[in-house]
Amino acid sequence: MAEQLIELNVTGMHCNNCALSIHKLLEKKGLQNILVDFAGEEVKFSNESNVELPDIIKSIEQLGFKVVDDPALHEPRFYEKIENKFLFCAIFTVPLLLHMIFQWHVLHMPMVQLLLCLPVFIVGCLHFGKSAWHSLKAGIPNMDVLIFIGSASAFIYSLVGTIQNLGEQYQFYETCATIITLVLLGNVFEKRSVNQTTSAVKDLVKIQQVNANRIIDGTVEVISAREVKPGDTLIVNHGDKVPVDGDILEGDASVDESMLTGESIPVDKVRYDKVIGGTIVVHGNFRMIATKTGSNTVLSQIIELMKKAQAAKPPVQKLGDKVAAIFVPAVIVIALLTFVLTYFLSDKGLQQSLMNAIAVLVISCPCAMGLATPTAVMVGLGRAAKSGILIKGGDTIEAVIDTKYIVFDKTGTLTTGKFRIEDIKIEGDSTIQQVRGVIVAIEERSNHPIAKSLVHELKSLQQDKVILKAVSEEKGLGMRAEDVEGNHYFLGNGKSVNDGNFNISLYKNQSLLAQIAVDDTIKPEAAALIAQLKAMGVVPVLLSGDRENRCLKVAKAIGIDEVHGEKLPDEKLTIIDIYKQKGKTVMIGDGINDAPALTKADVGVSMNDASQIAIQSARVILLNTDLHSVVKFLQISKHTLLTIKQNLFWAFAYNVVAIPVAALGFLNPMVGAFTMAFSDVVVIGNSIRLKSKRLD
């Protein structure tokens, strides 16, 4: 059977343990490439077996989750909302707790307490009991198992005391109801907090939900951006969001692209310029033709990239996952031991033994461990995205820590990539018009920054028209072409030519036709960046295919000491390998010739205006061409990892301290439930702090 890539929207997952349950279920069914994102409410897998999709959906729903068409449009029933469950339970729990404060006879009657506790216990059975049962069937017991056993033990103990009329010391209905109500309150806060951690993706999705003004037969109709097709002509006015990606046909405008680049200064757009869906027209208006729609737009690809990144686990998470997987069985064993040892080895009796065991169950919190890493990663990725930095995986955040070397390409990375021709030296009997014509004809077919600059500069000058029938690009070398008359051309780096001022050579039928001297300007922030990296203990390196003397000139101007010029793509690979052996190495580049080196480095970083191949090869994309994004990326990664470690420390330390305290009888089960309910909120709160935390 052919491979099917399937994506499901699954609601009801509230922590990593839920995601693990679904992951294990799908693994048992023989599905491949499983990816479960509890915060994004998405489950993806490829189905190469004969398992029918309805069977898969049924199995997921039997675990206690719900598969829906669109989470944004899915409105849960009134009684399914966690907030309503909490309020319902609180109405019955408050009178139960009042009997501990007021000596009102009616509140002390066992049957009254039973009637007040029963509705809460039923909600607990439906909410926690159902989830606990299905998680046990799936082989991954979750936190709900602990909550259900604890609350059910208190309820059954109290019910037996009521039926047998054993007196007040057997009445612990308030313990059962309070455990359920407080854990539901914790779930309410947890749900709201997790929503905050995923706000970056949700904000981007909202940007997509706009209308478009489409022109048909001279009239304008308003449609949803999702209905726009490639080739449609649209009108975009002052204040509108650009609905999809496209090219301006007529008009001009200033466009705010901050959602893409993090750069607040609007960009001026004129005829033939590209515009990106989701950006805002702050001044002017234009007609445009839609070129990319739906999942092909830049914004859709960014959203997809961020969703995948959130699901890619850093190595530090593996420890948390391993502990979370064995945590619940371990806690049940500790609770049983607590009951047995307290009952048989002390004179505290059945009641105290049971209360100690229940306290152990409800104080334990595997969710805090499950939430520690993904929430921090989501906030870190979101903060990076808002600064114009796209990180392709949570694992990249950890991969970049303790970077020793940052290797820079020169052209378009440290320099602006906007070239000007300093001189053209004609060889032989050709004219300047012929040479210009050949250069323009060849370079029009290339995306390289030098090629774009040459075409832009020469097009307005007088030239002879040259018609080519074949053009090919050779990585790191240049362009080969053949015209309709059978002449062969090569335009590329002038490595073999002795004159150091000229860095591009044009050959016709293997004879030198012309030499071209081009140069570009250094980015104004380059020197400050290099100084900052050195202060951070990072060694900057310049690695380029450009002439050695030009590389040395740029390196000297900005303060780089280690320089490797005139390197072909395979030579760049060798140099990256040497640096990797000496320490963690990051490569920053933008051209086709940089793609292998970007892949080879520990982390490859690509500029936004880079070639598509460079973007695909890199693990980080800087949408803002300002080089200070490099430092911001390192800082965000450092603080995200620090937040993960803080979260894991809190989650582990909380359980290491709380469980023995509960086992020794120093903790009331109700206090335990309250503390457990807020341990998750503390972990998520620490992650949310990363949104506005000062980065040094």
Structure tokens at 331: 């806690």
For residues 45 and 106, the answer to whether their CB atoms sit within 8 Å is no
For residues 422 and 518, the answer to whether their CB atoms sit within 8 Å is yes
**CB-neighbour burial class of residue 183 (10 A; exposed 0-12, middle 13-18, buried 19+):** buried
Q: Which of 232, 240, 256, 409 is catalytic?
A: 409
For residues 356 and 665, the answer to whether their CB atoms sit within 8 Å is yes
| Matching residue, tokens 């982390």 | 603
Using CA atoms, how far apart are residues 27 and 14, in angstroms rounded to an integer? 20
Beta strand ranges found along 152-294 (DSSP E): 211-216, 219-224, 233-236, 245-256, 267-269, 274-275, 280-292
Instruction: Evaluate the CA torsion angle 682, 684, 686, 689 in order and state its sign.
Output: negative
Count CB neighbours of 107 within 10 A: 18
Residue 256 is among the residues annotated as catalytic for this protein: no
DSSP 458-504: HTTS------EEEEEEETTTEEEEEETT--EEEEEE-TT-S-TT--E
Q: Residues near 324 by Cβ (< 8 Å), separated by ≥ 6?
A: 16, 17, 20, 366, 369, 370
Q: What does each C-alpha distance from 283 to 254, 272, 673 come to in angstroms?
A: 5, 18, 56
Q: Alpha carbon 625 to chain centroid distance?
A: 20
Nearest alpha-carbon partner for 432 in 517, 507, 520, 513: 513
For residues 138 and 21, the answer to whether their CB atoms sit within 8 Å is yes
For residues 236 and 225, the answer to whether their CB atoms sit within 8 Å is no
Q: What does each C-alpha distance from 202 to 14, 69, 196, 304, 452 come to in angstroms?
A: 17, 17, 9, 12, 36
> Which of 488-496's residues contact partners 24+ apart within 8 Å by CB, and which partners?
489/438, 489/442, 489/513, 491/438, 491/439, 491/442, 491/443, 493/545, 493/546, 493/547, 493/566, 494/547, 495/547, 495/566
Structure tokens at 693: 């935390």
Q: What does each C-alpha distance from 97 to 80, 103, 149, 166, 173 come to in angstroms?
A: 25, 11, 21, 21, 9
Structure tokens at 522: 């250094």
DSSP 79-93: GG-HHHHHHHHHHHH
For residues 568 and 545, the answer to whether their CB atoms sit within 8 Å is yes
For residues 688 and 640, the answer to whether their CB atoms sit within 8 Å is no
Q: Alpha carbon 369 to chain centroid distance?
A: 20
Per-residue 3-state assignment (H helix, E strand, C coil) for 556-574: HHHCCCEEECCCCHHHHHH
Nearest alpha-carbon partner for 356 in 376, 341, 373, 372: 341
Query: What is the set of active-site residues?
Result: 409
